[in-house]
Structures are given as structure tokens and as C-alpha cells.
Amino acid sequence: MFKEDDIRPQELMKGQAEMLAADINRLLKHKNNFVNVTCPACGSNESHKAYEKYEIQFVVCDRCETVYANPRPRPEHLEEYYTQSENYAYWNKYIFPASEVVRREKIFKPRVQAVIEICQKLNIPTNTLLEVGAGFGIFCEEVQKTEVFHRIIGVEPTPDLAQTCRDRGIETIENPIEKIDFGNEIIDVIVNFEVIEHLFSPKDFLAKCYELLSDRGILIITCPNSKGFDIATLGKQSSAVDNEHLNLFNINSLTMLFESCGFEVIDRQTPGKLDAELVRKQILLGEFDVANQPFLKEVLIDKWDQIGESFQNFLSQNLLSSNMLLVGQKVR
């Protein structure tokens, strides 16, 4: 069974927490200049308070139930945050190398295969693939090995991670995608994994992706699902709720946003593998009480060894995991 410790080794996470705290303090220096926004999915200005975490207020849209940070850091605050991030430098130096083998085998190779299968199924040309948020570079590296795409480009605005991508031989652009001029380059496939939740304006991002894609080109996105099991169960105690995740869509609200930007949503999945374990971990740490929730206690504690894996598979197969994947095709 895939475990959280496989990708986030606990012996390294204390140091990561210290770096994250420094980043949060740097971000909160701008708190008085945070700005109010409408719902990033549907544009409604009707919402109610959800919770506060790391001194950031989260609200729930009354129309589409997207959870989002409001008020939120301005784009210039976010650019400063990511370019100066001590947390991402730490991940790049310690956590990603320590977990690379598992990430490659359990996450990125299956993702590469899924992307190729989607392209084959939809008869998508494979001239150029662009990954937005290339991170440690493993996905692009694995795509290169398949020799399916003629050109592979990684977009990574965080300096340490961008250099790691270059060191792997990946063509890398060190800027937010909204600031990049690709000239006459036509892109067949854009992928971004765990990126859209970080953005000040997801709609502007999707509009840029739409502009760059070839006719019938596809956009593949993964991100947290606020209605998935671990987020819905734990609320602000979920690790998916943090200072960086400004937009916590659900599968229907993200579909709505895709469609408003001209995409036809042709696939929706929740392929997450860690929901049950993440909630179980909070119970075992004494940070989430299931004394009055006998079902959760039975599944996640008493019968974990017998049914834990099948319960997670049930969540994943029924659009109930807190990690979701959407595929949108440019249709107009």
C-alpha cells in the first residue's frame, strides 16, 4: 500500500516545517495588503467563512462550494514567495532526492503512461508537451525517455527547482506561464500537477493555456478536491489546507471553470492514494477524535489491515478522493 512516508519521509519533515514557517512569516508581512476576490471557479461574490489557518481566512462559495483564500496575497506577493522560498529550496535539496525513487515509480511513471494513453485515445498529435510547474523534473525526464513527444518544455519559476530541471537536461523556462511569449509555438498537450491551487487567478491561467494549445489540444490538471475524503473529514487539519493552496476546488466547480474558459471536460478522476492514511494518521496522533464516529474508527483503526486498502480504492474509484484529475480539450 502506498504510504505518505514514501514521499514525505518523516525524519526530514521537521526541517521542512521550520523552512515553511519562515516562508509564511515572509508572506504575512504583506497581510495588510492582501486583496478580496470573487470565487475563482464561478465568479460569485456570495460566500461564508470556513476556517482560518496560518492567519489566512478561507471561505466557501455559496454557489459552487469552492473553498478559497479571501482575502489573498497579491500576484507580486506570490512571486516573491516562490522565488525566495526556503521551503522549496529544502524540498529540492533533501525531500525530493530522498523520495525520488518512490515518486518516480509510484507517481510519475503512471502519470506519463496515463498522458500517453489519453493522447492515443483522442488521437492528439505529440509534437510538443509543456509541463507547468515542472518541480524536480521527474515527469519531464520520464516523458523524454518514451520518445513519444518531439519537444518537451518545463515551466518552473522557482530558481532552485528550475536549475534541477536544467541539470536533468530539460528545456526549462524560469517564469510564470502568464509572462511567457512562446511566439508561434503550438503546444499539443499542457500538463500541470498540483499547480492551479497555488495561483492568484486560476481563470487567467486556464485562459493562457487555452491560447497556447493547438486546435483539439488537451490540458491535464491534478489538484486537491475539497469534497474528497481527507479534506472533507479533517477540514483545516488537512495538510491540503495551507498558506499556498489559495483555491480548493471540487470536481464540479473545476469542471465549471474549465468550461467557462472554452474547454470540454472529457475525463474526471480522483486517483488519490492517501486519503484514508492521512485521516488515520491524525487519529493516531490524537489530533482527530473519532470517539463519536464509530464507522471511521472501525474502518481506519480497528479493521485497517483488513479493509484499509480497499476503502481507499473505493474512494478513488467513486470520485471521493481528495486528489482529482481533469482532462479538458480545446473545442472553440
How far is residue 301's CA from residue 311's CA, in Å, rounded to a whole number?
12
Q: pLDDT (tens digit, 0 to 9) for every residue of the chain, 332 residues total?
A: 678 888 889 889 989 999 999 999 999 999 999 999 999 999 999 999 999 999 999 999 999 999 999 999 999 999 999 999 999 999 989 999 999 999 999 999 999 999 999 999 999 999 999 999 999 999 999 999 999 999 999 999 889 999 999 999 999 999 888 888 888 888 999 999 999 999 999 999 999 999 999 999 999 999 999 999 999 999 999 999 999 999 999 999 999 999 999 999 999 999 999 999 999 999 999 999 999 999 999 999 999 999 999 999 999 999 999 999 999 999 86
Q: Which of 199, 318, 317 is nearest to 257 (CA)?
A: 199
Predicted local distance difference test score (pLDDT) of residue 1 = 67
**Cell (9 digits) for 321:** 478522493
Q: Within 10 Å of residue 101's Cβ, how many Cβ atoms?
A: 10
Phi, psi of 59 (to 5 degrees): -125, 165
Predicted local distance difference test score (pLDDT) of residue 185 = 81
Q: Tell me: the pLDDT tens digits for 200-233?
A: 999 999 999 999 999 999 999 999 999 999 999 9
Q: Which of 133, 29, 20 is nearest to 85 (CA)?
A: 20
Phi, psi of 99 (to 5 degrees): -110, 10
Residue with cell 495588503: 33
- Note whether 70 and 59 are within 8 A (CB): yes
Residue 263 forms beta bridges with which residues?
330
- Strands in 187-193's sheet, in edge-to-edge order, are 171-173, 151-155, 128-132, 187-193, 213-224, 323-330, 263-269
DSSP state of 134: -
The rounded radius of gyration (Å) of the Cα atoms in the chain is 19
Cα–Cα distances in angstroms (integers) from residue 188 to residues 157, 182, 325, in the given order: 22, 13, 18
Number of H helices, E strands in the chain: 14, 11
Cα–Cα distances in angstroms (integers) from residue 182 to residues 29, 230, 245, 263, in the given order: 34, 39, 28, 21
Question: Considering Cα of 268, then 91, then 140, then 134, what sign does the dihedral take?
Answer: positive
Q: 3-state DSSP helix/strand/coil percent for the chain, to nearest 5?
A: 50, 20, 30
Q: Within 10 Å of residue 166's Cβ, how many Cβ atoms?
A: 15
State how far Cα 165 lies from the chain centre.
Answer: 19
Distant-in-sequence, close-in-space partners of 12: CB < 8 Å, separation ≥ 6: 94, 95, 98
Predicted local distance difference test score (pLDDT) of residue 180 = 86
How far is residue 31's CA from residue 34's CA, in Å, rounded to a whole number?
5
Q: Which of 66, 31, 73 is nearest to 45 (CA)?
A: 66
Q: What pTM did the predictor assign?
A: 0.93
159 upstream amide cis, omega within 30 of 0: no
**Cell (9 digits) for 330:** 480545446
How far is residue 67's CA from residue 72's CA, in Å, rounded to a whole number?
13
